[in-house]
Amino acid sequence: MDTVDKGKWEERIIVAGFGGQGVVLMGKLLAYAGLLEGRNVTCLPSYGPEMRGGTANCMVTISTGKIASPYITTPSSLIVMNAPSLDRFESMVEPGGCILLNSSLAKREVTRSDVTAASVQANRIAEELGDVRVANMVALGAFAKAKPILQMDSLINSLEKVLSARRKEMLLLDGEALRRGGESVCIEVG
């Protein structure tokens, strides 16, 4: 399936997990890649009271038209990095939407039959690549394959702009993790 390029469309994505899993970075990459492709974007991060280990999510809207609000109540897509995030957000996804699950940490499956359910063992693949910190990039690459609203090259090109100075040494590994995630995703159309 090619990326969406005709007519007006809007993708509302919630990325969710524990603090420290790179959820906000994933949201920023989605938003920046959308900008690179000439889309309108919003990115709204949310942290629990404790940064590392607490809950974190990021709401990203990518659209060809104007975006009314950065807050998302009914996502068209959900990327979940752990089981509590699946429990919290699964019911909010609109029918016909997409849920990408990090099956390394969320052991249960998506229970809905009216959405596309995709999964990737993001932590296991990240460990194979030599650094569990890139599990977020594996999941993002898997999402890019399951829901091709953005080109993989746009996500990879966004890395250099979005990564912090202390994480620049991860540039090549993050790019490889995005690619591996796209190659490793398992998609079940609901």
DSSP string, 50-78: STTTSEEEEEEEEESS--S-S--SS-SEE
Q: Looking at the domain assignment, is residue 30 inside a domain?
A: yes
Spatial separation of the C-alpha atoms in residues 89 and 13, rounded to whole Å:
11
Supply the range of the domain harboring residue 81: 10-188
Spatial separation of the C-alpha atoms in residues 84 and 66, rounded to whole Å:
32
Spatial separation of the C-alpha atoms in residues 169 and 146, rounded to whole Å:
28
Pairing mode, strands 77-80 and 55-63 = unpaired
Residue 106 corresponds to which tokens in the numbers above?
Answer: 């969320």
Residue 142 buriedness (CB in 10 A; 0-12 / 13-18 / 19+): buried
The radius of gyration of the chain from alpha carbons, rounded to an integer in Å, stands at 15
Q: Looking at the domain assignment, is residue 79 inside a domain?
A: yes
In the chain, the number of structural domains is: 1
Q: Looking at the domain assignment, is residue 25 inside a domain?
A: yes
Residue-level pLDDT, tens digit, the chain, 190 residues: 344 445 789 999 999 999 889 999 999 999 999 999 999 999 999 977 655 667 899 999 999 999 999 999 999 999 999 999 999 999 999 999 999 999 999 989 999 999 999 999 999 999 999 999 999 999 999 999 999 999 999 999 999 999 988 888 899 999 999 999 999 999 998 6
Specify the DSSP element, H or E, that contains 120: strand 116-120
Q: What pLDDT score does 75 carry?
A: 98
Q: What pLDDT score does 64 carry?
A: 96
Q: Looking at the domain assignment, is residue 4 inside a domain?
A: no
DSSP state of 22: -
Spatial separation of the C-alpha atoms in residues 95 and 83, rounded to whole Å:
21
Q: Looking at the domain assignment, is residue 27 inside a domain?
A: yes
- Per DSSP, the three-state class of 99 is strand
DSSP state of 30: H
* Cα-based distances in Å from 179 to 77, 82, 153, 172: 20, 21, 10, 11
Q: Looking at the domain assignment, is residue 3 inside a domain?
A: no
Q: Looking at the domain assignment, is residue 5 inside a domain?
A: no
14 contacts 43 by C-beta, under 8 angstroms: no
Q: Looking at the domain assignment, is residue 92 inside a domain?
A: yes
Reference 94, options 109, 71, 72; nearest CA is 72
Residue 150 sits in a domain of what CATH number?
3.40.920.10
